[in-house]
């Protein structure tokens, strides 16, 4: 089970602020939102077969399958923070970044298990102060 470091309420607030401010989101808030999203991904898809990296915020190992223990993992997905949050919330489609319809270099994926299509989106952005849905799915909803 994923070990929580970001309080879910703090993470939801950071995610909502990112959704409202986009590229203008303060760095500390952006990193909190990304760390929260990484923890959610790890909790929803436990395992160690794919390493998902979002520098400089962090990385998690997720998804069932062979466990990686040393060296470079065979299955790696690396994203920029805004791209990762866009994927997590459904604002960006995996196919768009992988097929370079969005060509900002925001995603690098390698390995036979590095396709996250089935796992996305996994977060719902709630408007600040409300419980309104802004797309995507979330297990606690």
Q: What is the pLDDT of residues 52-111, one digit of tens each?
A: 999 999 999 999 887 766 777 789 999 999 999 999 999 999 988 877 655 566 788 889
How far apart, in whole angstroms, are the C-alpha atoms of residue 69 and residue 16?
35
Phi, psi of 28 (to 5 degrees): -60, -40
pTM for the predicted model, two decimal places? 0.84
Element (H, E) at 28: helix 27-44
Burial of 85 (0-12, 13-18, 19+ CB in 10 A): buried
């Amino acid at each position: 089970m994923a070990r929580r470091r970001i309080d879910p309420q703090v993470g939801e607030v950071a995610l909502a602020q990112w959704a409202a401010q986009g590229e203008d989101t303060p760095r500390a808030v952006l990193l909190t939102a990304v760390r929260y999203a990484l923890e959610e991904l790890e909790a929803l898809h436990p395992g160690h077969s794919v390493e998902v990296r979002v520098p400089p915020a962090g990385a998690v190992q997720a998804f069932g399958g062979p466990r990686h223990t040393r060296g470079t993992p065979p299955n790696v997905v690396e994203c920029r923070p805004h791209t990762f949050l866009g994927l997590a919330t459904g604002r960006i489609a995996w196919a768009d970044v992988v097929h370079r319809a969005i060509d900002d270099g925001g995603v690098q994926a390698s390995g036979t298990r590095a396709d996250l299509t089935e796992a996305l989106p996994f977060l719902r952005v709630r408007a600040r102060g409300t419980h309104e849905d802004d797309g995507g799915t979330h297990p606690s909803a």
